[in-house]
Amino acid sequence: MEIKISRFVREYGDYYVRFFVTSKDKTFETEAMVSGSEAAGKSHDEISALALIKVKPNIDYNMSQPDELPSEDIGDMIGKEVKVAPAALQSIRVLGPASVFTTAAGPVSSNFNAVPIDQYGSIIESSAVVWSYSPSEPGIEIDASTGRLTANRPDLAASVVVTISAAIGGVVGTLQVAVNPPTGEDVLGRKVAELETESVQTMLAVAEAYETAVVNNTQREKEGVDTMLRLTEVYDLFLQQQVEIEALKAEVSTLRGC
């Protein structure tokens, strides 16, 4: 086997070395690139030796393969214009959080975005996206035009997994999202809020009961005063009657003495 350099060029700081390999049964070429950083401080001979090390596995592989049919030029393809098909929507990549945590304080929202991809793997402009999710869950909604997911489930006990879908025409992209219950801190906060509410309600109830008691006591005191006044009037009447009785008795005694 004989190996000779058939091309040795430097482009933009990197070296490209092509080798022409011949043996009794085979002839082929193989090439390697030596970067500028790899070639720094090395001579051309050292660079070619480094390139040969890189292509050695390829040379060994080609030498181990059975003889192939000779190459053949397909004449009708030479000079033929290659037309590239215009970009067309091939897939949709959905971007957004994989997990959403509900809160005890109220609704929580997350935004999702759709990235249209063409058949060449490039991002393209596309028409409006229609958003949806499944399966349907109470308290979870998504804006069909913006992709904004809102979860209002402070009572959620276990995580649920929903599939976010972005559709453009007949092409659909999806992303699975876990909607999780409130964290321990949120649950504690909700409990504190509930206790505070209960405390306020209790205080209001106590205040109302106190006001009722005061009103009742005032009413009873008023009734007691009225009763005492009536009793006083009766007692005064009784005393007046006693005076009149004593006066009558005195008059009777006087008449008897006569």
Secondary structure (DSSP) of 97-150 = -SEEE--SSS-EEEE-EEEEEETTS-B---S--EEEEES--TTEEE-TTT-EEE
Confidence of residue 187 (pLDDT cuts 50, 70, 90): very low
H/E run at residue 95: strand 89-95
* pTM metric for this prediction: 0.45
Dihedrals φ, ψ of 8, to 5°?
-145, 105
d(CA 185, CA 231): 67
Tens of pLDDT, residues 122-153: 888 888 899 999 999 999 999 999 999 999 98
Most confident of 20-24, 161-165, 182-186: 161-165
Q: Is the pLDDT of residue 39 over 70?
A: yes
- Report pLDDT for 166: 96
| Average pLDDT, integer, range 168-197 | 72
- Report pLDDT for 127: 80
| Average pLDDT, integer, range 40-68 | 87
| Percentage, residues of the chain above pLDDT 70 | 67
Q: Is the pLDDT of residue 90 over 70?
A: yes
Confidence of residue 250 (pLDDT cuts 50, 70, 90): low
Q: C-alpha 164: how far from its chain's center?
A: 12
Tokens matching residue 52 = 């040969």
Contact (CB, 8 A) for 142 and 131:
yes
- Report pLDDT for 52: 92
CATH code: domain 89-182 is 2.60.40.10
| Average pLDDT, integer, range 12-31 | 88
